[in-house]
Amino acid sequence: MDLLFTLLATIVALGLLVTIHEYGHFWVARRCGVKVLRFSIGFGPALYSWHDRQGTEYVIAGIPLGGYVKMLDERESPVPEQELDQAFNRKSVKQRIAIVAAGPLANFLLAILAFWIIAVLGITTVAPVTGPVEPGSIAERAGMREGLEILEIDGTATPTWHEVNLQLIRRLGETGQLQLLAREGEGGAPQSYTLQLQSWLRGAEQPDPVAALGLTSWKPAVPPLIGQISPDGAAAAAGLQAGDLIVAIDGEPVSDWLVDVVPAIQASAGQTLELTVEREGGIRTLALTPAAREQDGRLIGFIGAGIEAFEWPEHMMRSISHNPLTAIPVAVMKTWDMTALTLDSLKKMVTGLVSAKNLSGPITIAKVAGASAKSGVESFLGFIAYLSISLGVLNLLPIPVLDGGHLVYYVAEWIRGKPLSERIQGWGLQIGLTMIVGVMLFAIYNDISRLGS
């Protein structure tokens, strides 16, 4: 069932992104007088197709990993003389630039729309308040301590932990000072902290920027009261039941699930623990042997059990929303910031400041699509926006085969007054195709490596 849900979420996400992208090309082409022969969502054999009054064939194909708009073009097939004025290659260079650029532009507009909807719907989130600070860490040397709410990083507001992570990701691989503004309690005066970075997380695979600074997120005390049991897990095999309260592990009293129980279980993969539990007013002793799995290159224990749901204190919650008018600049700025972050990350990946192993392919996209869809409308819309921005940026890269490569050719034609030779364009096509295939294979390899770990 989970696999089916993930596949459905992936198809919906990719289908929407591809449709919007190709519709951008289609819409501008029609307004420039170009005859569109086919508008296809997906590749391969057609599952369903129909024609409109202007003769355009609309196709839904069997492989939902892309799409295309096929236009009338003398370079692809002979064009009847009476339709020559509708051929793409007969249009002015400015019109061809507009048609090619419209696809990526449509992706950015989709991201703005998604961020606008999120801003209008509003979110309720946990404030980015620090938990225990790791001794000797970057944060601790800067004077940071537990209980600080992070307000800004490098002058940008950070109302959520998500925003904190995004601002920290901007500094990956860098050397210099990171400026952080924080306050203690809701009424505390904001105080500035200067954190010193030295080739920070340069080349790290799957970096955790918050932890790398020595920071943790504050969490309320969570009683170790069992709420859910996996029927085939170690907890069920040991006899744990929903409603059990763990009061001791190996004779040591425990009172907090996150602070006491989780670390003990994770550190005891394959080792038997003696659990003292309170059940229906009585005390019982159970022998529990956590199963082992690999995470970040080390074995950790897990038992297949979850705790009863708990609520965060009201003073730790933040509600963020905008009216339809004020949400517009918020959405535009968010799209702009994410576009800049994507370009900066690509540059750092090329220069080696960020590991190329962070590049993701279709498997990771599918997993994130499924997880975000399960988390709610806001999460799924956010995923759509980020992916749409990535698709827009990727297509604008000056690589032949992509829209950006075609734009380079047309701009060169505009400057020279004549197109580049067929030989040069052919070489570019081969180089671009090789680069794209190589990057895709590397991204898929990264996906498979993550699955293996």
User: Which residues of the chain are under the pLDDT cut of 70?
Assistant: 1-3, 295-297, 361-364, 366-367, 442-443, 446-447, 450-453
Residue 168: the pLDDT is: 93
The packing angle between helices 362-375 and 422-452, to 10°, is 60
* Model pLDDT, residue 126: 87
Cβ neighbours of 65 (radius 10 Å) = 13
**How high is the pLDDT of residue 361?**
66
Rounded Cα gap, residues 366 and 184, in angstroms: 40
Compute the distance between CA of residue 275 and CA of residue 225 in angstroms, rounded to an integer. 13
* The pLDDT value given to residue 450: 63
CB under 8 Å to 56, separation ≥6 — which residues?
A: 36, 37, 38, 39
pLDDT given at position 437: 77
**Residue 441 one-letter amino acid:** L
- 305 secondary structure, DSSP code: E
- The contacts of residue 263 (CB under 8 Å, 6+ apart) are none
Residue among 25, 24, 116 nearest 335 (CA): 116
CA distance 51 to 55: 6
Please state the pTM of the whole predicted model.
Answer: 0.81
Query: Nearest-CA neighbor of 330 among 123, 76, 61, 107?
Result: 123
* Cα gap 260→255, rounded to integer Å: 7
Q: All domains of the chain, ordered by start, with CATH?
A: 123-219+312-320 (2.30.42.10), 226-311 (2.30.42.10)
> Using CA atoms, how far apart are residues 192 and 166, in angstroms rounded to an integer?
19
The pLDDT of residue 416 is: 86
Compute the distance between CA of residue 201 and CA of residue 172 in angstroms, rounded to an integer.
6
149 annotated active-site: no
Please give the single-letter amino acid code of residue 359.
L
